[in-house]
Amino acid sequence: MNYFNRLLHFNQIQIIIAQEKVYLVNHTQLTLDRLVYTTWAMSQQGNWMAMSKKNYYEVKDLPPQSALMLEDIDPYEIGKIFYRLEYAKIGEEELVLNFTLNKERQYHQVADHLLVDRMIALIKSEEGFIKEVSPVS
């Protein structure tokens, strides 16, 4: 397991939900030069499954021990919300990933970090869907 995969494995890069906001938290001692993450929601009601549009975002220069507010919680959004890390660059190490970031509701882990303001650039979107699925037996 390389160094970056160990950071992910030990939740050193994580999604934290605190005070109805979603944060990307860098617990490491390293600057994350570039991250690409995606987010979407999925829901199933009876025989119908829906997936929202999947948006891909880029964040650059996330300092060590910092937290970046990504979005406010939408109280009307239904289904399970996912955040997945697609790409990361730290120094000379670049990784193409497919790693679902752990989500936790913990305010103290955000409060202990430097809150930073970085541009969050939408770089790509994929259409969602609604489809009929077989009932679970």
pLDDT for residue 1:
46
- What is the pairing mode between strands 103-105 and 129-132? unpaired
- Gyration radius (Cα) of the chain, Å: 16
- Per-residue burial over 118-128, b if 16 or more Cβ lie within 10 Å, else e, is bebeeeeeeee
Residue type, 38: T
Tokens 């037996």, residue located = 137
Instruction: Outline where 15-127 has alpha helix (H).
Output: 107-111
pTM score over 0.75: yes
pLDDT for residue 50:
93
Sort 96 into a burial class: Cβ within 10 Å, 0-12 / 13-18 / 19+. exposed
Residue type, 107: Y
d(CA 113, CA 36): 21
d(CA 130, CA 44): 9
pLDDT tens per residue across all 137 residues of the chain: 456 566 555 577 888 888 888 899 898 888 999 999 999 999 988 899 999 999 999 999 999 999 999 999 877 777 888 888 888 888 888 877 766 766 666 656 777 788 999 999 999 999 999 999 886 65
